[in-house]
Structure 1
Amino acid sequence: MTTSYPKIGGNGEANEGRVLLSQTTGFGKPAGYDPIAWQARCDLAAAYHLCNQMDLNEGICNHLTVMVPGTSDRFLCVPYGLLWDEVTASNLLMLDESGNVLEGEGEIDATAFFIHAAIHATGVVCVLHTHTPNVTALCCTEDFTLHMCHQNSLRFAGDVAYDPTFNGLVLDREEGDRLVKVMNGKRVLMHANHGVIICGDSVAEAFDDLYYLERAAEVQILAMSTGKALRIVPENVANQFLVDMKKDGGKANWAKLHFDALKRGLMRTHVGAKFCQ
């Protein structure tokens, strides 16, 4: 276990080779920058803005990451200290699997590195860790189960892992690896006394799950507040719901349409439009 709070990034000697990106406007990109990698930057920055807009984050804490397209050992994350509506495509940091900053200026929160590096090492493309209000509220109850009582809940049937062990801040790779083992390949982890981790094949799919998981938790909490028993959807109906959702790539396509619409909404606001700069 670590004896001091780790620093990830910053101005250490190991990061002397980093690249600083010039800020751009609109949907442009720095000259010569790979367009697919730039799109990943834009999408992740948009997710930060959307979480801020929807009150799905806490201050400058929590963290969202995505693997750099075409790589298996580097990912993008916000430099620690920015408000989430200050995040842009160009000010995101690119880190390697050892925590060296390859592009950008600043450092990331150590908890972000140790959680996300461990999960990305398993091949996950996008990892979102937040303390969304309603999911986090469920994680603070003795039985912090997402019950299959609503259509939105069914999206996650059989794909939620539950971690009853809260060890405080994640400040070493050992705890990151422990979280990976608890997740056991599932795309959602509800962490007792803490919050949620969501994994996806793209920023769009992970954000779509983050959004609908929060709505599912909100409905469940409202239903529980009546003091009446939850009405659970029969297992056969829940299973068929998942089959229907996945037909012809439906779920991934719905997520893309949803995320594209939300990005258009950001572009109509003075602050939100900065995400792609």
Structure 2
Amino acid sequence: MSGEPRATEATLRRDLAAAYRLAALFGWDDTLYTHFSARLPGPEPRFLINPFGLLFEEVCASDLLVVDMHGHVLDGNADYNVAGFTIHSAVHMARDDAHCVIHTHTLPGMAVAASDKGLAQLNQISAEFYCRVGYHTYEGIALDLGERERLVASLGDNIAMMLRHHGLLSVGTSVADAFYVMYYLNKACEIQLAAAVLDGVSEIPGKLAQHACEQFQGCEWQRPLLWDAWLRKLDRLDPTYKN
């Protein structure tokens, strides 16, 4: 993941709101459900998360809640998704590099997460995730804080995780990083579903997939350029996410 200085709260609010709007634009939303978070700078662990009740297409920077690791809302006048708190607090408490966490329930992501094999090495896009995706066994809706320890163990030091029978999760040192990871992980799942109806599909050999993965890691400096392009797209369509 590309390393960059910690952003201010205002910038994190803007970027996280943009991530919600882009997710709606790309069809990743699940009505009121799923959640993205960004850890705030400062000595006390806190993070931004969406208020429960807003569609992703409605989220603005000022709507985002500030929540501590005990589940207290420190800034905001709404509730959050309780399962979202379990998942996001677990990662933020354990991974210093996971400044942003994105969780989705997309059709391709949930379909591949339900398969025994998980993500297959079928294309160049999937190669970026070679040996970089964790898998977490389904335990029901994530309402039990005791699951946090197991979520963290399943994620390990990976950049993404498949929540079995549930969905996808990505992490990054910035919103731009985590969003990039989710975009291409979801794309790899889309390709895998499309390829499932074909005859004679083959996987990339492990050694070659590892080589391609290392090549992708050498290009992570490009991620902020793509993020800026996505922000320009949002600004053309509807800049109210910044409000």
Gaps of 5+ in 1: 1-34
Match of 1:169 in 2: 141
Over the aligned positions, Cα root-mean-square deviation in angstroms equals 1.4
SS at match of 2:63: coil
Match of 2:102 in 1: 128
1:31-110 matched pairs, under 5 angstroms: 36-71=8-43, 73-110=45-82
Give the counterpart letter for 1:258 in structure 2.
Answer: L
Task: Identify which of 219, 239, 242 aligns with 1:273.
Answer: 239
- Structure 1 CA distance for aligned equivalents of residues 120 and 106 of structure 2: 17
Gaps of 5+ in 2: 1-6
Task: Assess if the C-alpha contact under 8 Å between 1:45 and 1:89 holds in 2.
Answer: yes
Match of 2:231 in 1: 263
Task: Identify which of 102, 117, 120 aligns with 2:89.
Answer: 117
Give the counterpart letter for 1:233 in structure 2.
Answer: I
Q: Structure 1 residue 117: deviation in Å?
A: 0.5
Match of 1:159 in 2: 132
How many residue pairs get matched?
Answer: 235
Q: Which runs of 4+ in 1 moved over 4 A?
A: none
Q: Structure 1 residue 230: deviation in Å?
A: 2.8
Q: Structure 1 residue 244: deviation in Å?
A: 2.1
Highest CA radius of gyration, 1 or 2? Answer: 1
Give the counterpart letter for 1:234 in structure 2.
Answer: P
In the TM superposition, what whole-angstrom CA distance separates every residue of 1:9-63 from its partner, at most 9, and x where no partner exists? xxxxxxxxxxxxxxxxxxxxxxxxxx72100110000000011111112001000
Query: What TM-score do the two structures reach when normalised by structure 2?
Result: 0.92
Query: What TM-score do the two structures reach when normalised by structure 1?
Result: 0.81
- Structure 2 CA distance for aligned equivalents of residues 132 and 195 of structure 1: 7
Task: Assess if the C-alpha contact under 8 Å between 1:40 and 1:69 holds in 2.
Answer: no
- Structure 2 CA distance for aligned equivalents of residues 133 and 63 of structure 1: 16
- Structure 2 CA distance for aligned equivalents of residues 275 and 144 of structure 1: 38
Task: Identify which of 82, 105, 111 aligns with 1:137.
Answer: 111
Q: Structure 1 residue 144: deviation in Å?
A: 4.1
- Structure 2 CA distance for aligned equivalents of residues 175 and 217 of structure 1: 26
Match of 1:243 in 2: 214
Task: Assess if the C-alpha contact under 8 Å between 1:64 and 1:128 holds in 2.
Answer: yes
Identity of aligned residues (%): 34
- Structure 2 CA distance for aligned equivalents of residues 238 and 118 of structure 1: 30
Task: Assess if the C-alpha contact under 8 Å between 2:159 and 2:181 holds in 1.
Answer: no
Q: Structure 1 residue 169: deviation in Å?
A: 0.8
- Structure 2 CA distance for aligned equivalents of residues 144 and 136 of structure 1: 13
